[in-house]
């Protein structure tokens, strides 16, 4: 008997099969924490945070959405003041998005321990360029390398999730910190769909892709921290295939360039707030 967990997030379906020694019943309360989190558990918690954030990104963001870094010129603000300024920037940005007929979606994190405060954001793209965001960020410059495009692929979602979690690795849980979480996000983000099924079998078969998807290689096999075997594989929607040989056309590769994404036309004619 094993558990098959299926998570659907945007163009990706991830399947994890694993054995476990215990199944928690909904009526069974979690026991109280009586010991401090050990180093191994810290690593597990961080991996889980990265995974959850990666799936959240895949579910809510797509190719050509924007990665934005916000820094400060002149005298550095305190952490509390930096948080207040970021909150004001988000409120202002939300008003401008709504005026343009869009809802703002964002994920971000802030950090400033042992260096100047700064913020990292992932924002849905409505056709704006760097100039429009610079007009709303009054406390510093947004150089070209602080304005980048998210490419919509699982690998990039993984990179963004790792980067945001890494920024708060040593400080997020400290009581004196203003941001006491790995990351912050808007409330309108959709949650990935998670399904769990108990399979009455001692072994599992080689996976087959769902219709309209392909399986990203390699399929992963291994053992959990408690010694139980697991299998993990990821299915990606066919139209998201980038740089992978097309089996229907010999010698060709499906590729999607920067100029063919959803917001390509919008970038040609940028929208400016009133």
CATH code, 119: 3.30.70.1910
Q: Which run of H or of E encompasses 248?
A: none
Query: How much is the pLDDT for 241?
Result: 67
196 lies in some domain: no
Rounded to 5°, angle at Cα 205 from 199 and 208: 105
Domain limits for position 126: 60-190
The total number of structural domains in the chain stands at 1
230 lies in some domain: no
Torsional sign, CA 179, 181, 187, 190: positive
Query: How much is the pLDDT for 183?
Result: 87
88 lies in some domain: yes
Query: How confident is the model over 112-165, as pLDDT tens digits?
Result: 777 788 999 999 999 999 999 999 999 999 999 999 999 998 999 999 999 988
| Ranges of H-type helices in 29-175 | 39-60, 79-99, 130-136, 154-167
Q: What is the pLDDT along the chain (274 residues), one digit of tens a residue?
A: 889 999 999 999 999 998 876 544 444 354 455 555 556 666 777 788 899 999 999 999 999 999 999 999 989 898 889 989 999 999 999 999 999 999 999 999 988 777 788 999 999 999 999 999 999 999 999 999 999 999 998 999 999 999 988 866 655 555 555 555 778 999 999 999 999 999 888 778 889 999 999 999 899 998 877 778 889 999 999 886 655 544 443 344 344 444 445 555 555 444 444 4
85 lies in some domain: yes
41 lies in some domain: no
77 lies in some domain: yes
Rounded to 5°, angle at Cα 143 from 135 and 154: 100
153 lies in some domain: yes
CA distances from 231 to 49, 154, 249 (A): 20, 18, 31
- pTM, two decimals, is 0.77
119 lies in some domain: yes
- Looking up tokens 């954030």 gives 53
């Amino acid at each position: 008997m094993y558990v098959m967990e299926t998570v659907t997030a945007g163009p990706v379906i991830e399947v994890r099969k694993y054995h476990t020694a215990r199944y928690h019943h909904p009526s069974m309360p979690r026991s109280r924490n009586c010991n401090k989190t050990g180093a191994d558990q810290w690593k597990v918690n961080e991996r889980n945070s990265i995974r959850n954030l990666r799936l959240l990104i895949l579910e809510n963001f797509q190719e050509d959405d924007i990665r934005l870094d916000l820094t400060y010129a002149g005298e550095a603000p305190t952490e509390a003041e930096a948080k207040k300024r970021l909150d004001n920037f988000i409120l202002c940005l939300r008003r401008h998005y709504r005026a343009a007929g869009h809802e703002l979606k964002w994920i971000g994190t802030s950090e400033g321990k042992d260096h100047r405060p700064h913020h990292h954001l992932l924002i849905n793209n409505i056709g704006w360029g760097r100039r429009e965001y610079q007009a709303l960020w009054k406390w510093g410059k947004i150089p070209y390398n602080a304005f980048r495009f998210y490419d919509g692929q699982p690998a990039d979602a993984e990179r963004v999730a790792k980067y945001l979690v890494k920024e708060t690795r040593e400080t997020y849980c400290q009581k004196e910190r203003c941001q006491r979480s790995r990351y912050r996000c808007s409330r309108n983000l959709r949650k990935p769909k998670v399904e769990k099924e108990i399979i009455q079998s001692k072994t599992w078969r080689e996976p087959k892709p769902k219709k309209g998807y392909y399986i990203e290689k390699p399929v992963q096999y291994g053992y959990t921290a408690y010694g139980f075997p697991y299998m993990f594989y990821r299915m990606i929607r066919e139209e998201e295939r980038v740089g992978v040989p097309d089996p229907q056309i010999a010698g060709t590769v499906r590729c999607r360039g920067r100029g063919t994404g959803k917001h390509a036309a919008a970038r040609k004619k940028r929208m400016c707030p009133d």
